[in-house]
Amino acid sequence: MARYSVFSLLAQGLAGHRGWKPAWRKAAPRDRYDVVIVGGGGHGLATAYYLAKEHGVTNVAVVEKGWVGGGNVGRNTTIVRSNYMLPDNTRFYELGMKLWEGLSHDLNFNVMFSQRGVLNLAHTPSQMDAFARRGNAMRLNGVDAELLTRDQVAAMAPGLDVSPTARFPIIGGLIQRRGGTARHDAVAWGYARGADARGVDIIENCEVTGFVREGSAITGVETSRGTIRAAKVGVAVAGNSSPVLRLAGFDRLPLESHLLQAFVSEPLKPLIHTVITFGAGHLYISQSDKGGLVFGGDLDGYNSYAQRGNLPLVEDVAAEALTMFPNLGRLRLLRHWAGIMDMSMDGSPIICKGPVDGLYINSGWCYGGFKATPASGWCFAHTIAKDEPHELNAAFTLDRFQRGYAIDEKGAGPVPGHH
């Protein structure tokens, strides 16, 4: 793999950029691998990368029914944070944050990680109390957190309506300054390039149509490009976890699939310099390097596998954005799309060995999928390579719902849509 550097960029520029090689091979499937990862999104590619880099397991195939980055990793609002309250979630996402901070250097690929901060707005004294509790919990776990007054919020976001007569007056906020955004496509491409360079086969346009069983164990996958056998099969397909695992014989999982829309406006001059979330509703907004505002809100409210949304949510998100920033009233929406969220019953992920030998499951990401990409791949790779969980994903078991060990970050109960 050619190493990207200022010198290689200069040399290619002088040569008309005709010497660049493909970032990864268009691999054809072989009959057998040590590990097959189903899903060529961020989590699947990160898992393959860390299997090769950290554990020396290079006889790995990543099979993707479409193209690399065509799923949820390319359909999100790119926010990265570790501002969780429960210890299991806090420690896990903080590992992710630390990996994010060195990811471009590690991959030799610019993932455009921008630590511009994530600011949660508070509109009532009780919200400020809740933020103080969350911030204290974060700091006890070594995560940065800072409470802001209304004046500090106003200085950070000049376009924000902080007037006392606002419909939802802002009285302060909680900020994690190490949080921010990354370029979603670059994350997928960087992990794909890094995994390929270490011998991993990335097989696109290869849909899994079934699983190979020998006795009670999973020993491979049936695909649209033939049978591929493997000692271990990891499934990391986000919102498609239920239909894919149904092929393995698991009809009932503690998951629901919901649509989550995201939006991009036409570009404008710099206005929002951090990520801001609206505390009186559900809206998160930031500004991309190209100038467009990137924002999203609630789930669409019904189960679906379509990658599109509905108009009521568009109106709801637009109304909340205008409540925060009245000066956006004449801004035009450039495009929107939807990702398929695999919502778990407690809002926390599942990373574990499956109920049968040879099967490993990575799912239940709710709103946390993109930000978790490095930590998810790191822990899933450890679980597959060692046949036991990493200490940071030991609590994220599939059977915790049966055992009564829910990790309910929001205290919303067993209602996936509320998480």
User: Model confidence over 233-292: pLDDT tens digits?
Assistant: 999 999 999 999 999 999 889 999 999 999 999 999 999 999 999 999 999 999 999 999
DSSP one-letter string for 277-335: EETTTTEEEEE-TTS-EEEEEEEEEEE---S---HHHHHHHHHHHHHH-GGGTTPPEEE
- Report residue 417's pLDDT band, with 50, 70 and 90 as the boundaries: confident
Tally helices (H) and strands (E) across the chain: 11, 18
Residues of the chain with CATH 3.50.50.60: 23-82+84-109+184-253+345-418
> Which is nearest to 187 in space by CA: 308, 72, 317?
72
pTM reported for the whole predicted model = 0.96
Q: Output the pLDDT for position 232.
A: 98
Q: Which CATH architecture has domain 23-82+84-109+184-253+345-418?
A: 3-Layer(bba) Sandwich (3.50)
DSSP one-letter string for 183-248: -HHHHHHHHHHHHHHTT-EEE-S--EEEEEEETTEEEEEEETTEEEEEEEEEE--GGGHHHHHHTT
Give 95-138 pLDDT, tens digit per residue: 999 999 999 999 999 999 999 999 999 999 999 999 999 999 99
291-158-319 Cα angle (round to 5): 70
Q: How far apart are CA 262 and CA 288, in angstroms?
A: 13
Full strand arrangement of the beta sheet holding 275-278: 146-149, 172-176, 118-122, 275-278, 283-287, 293-303, 255-265, 333-344
End-to-end CA separation in angstroms for the chain: 41
**Mean pLDDT (the chain, rounded):** 95
> Which is nearest to 296 in space by CA: 101, 91, 72, 104?
72
Q: How far apart are CA 275 and CA 144, in angstroms?
A: 16
CATH topology for 118-180+257-344 is D-Amino Acid Oxidase; Chain A, domain 2 (3.30.9)
User: Cα dist. 66→71, 248, 378 in Å?
Assistant: 8, 20, 24
Give 40-98 pLDDT, tens digit per residue: 999 999 999 999 999 999 999 999 999 999 989 988 999 999 999 999 999 999 999 99
Q: Output the pLDDT for position 419.
A: 83
Residues of the chain with CATH 3.30.9.10: 118-180+257-344
* Helix, strand, or coil (residue 134): helix
Q: Output the pLDDT for position 302.
A: 87
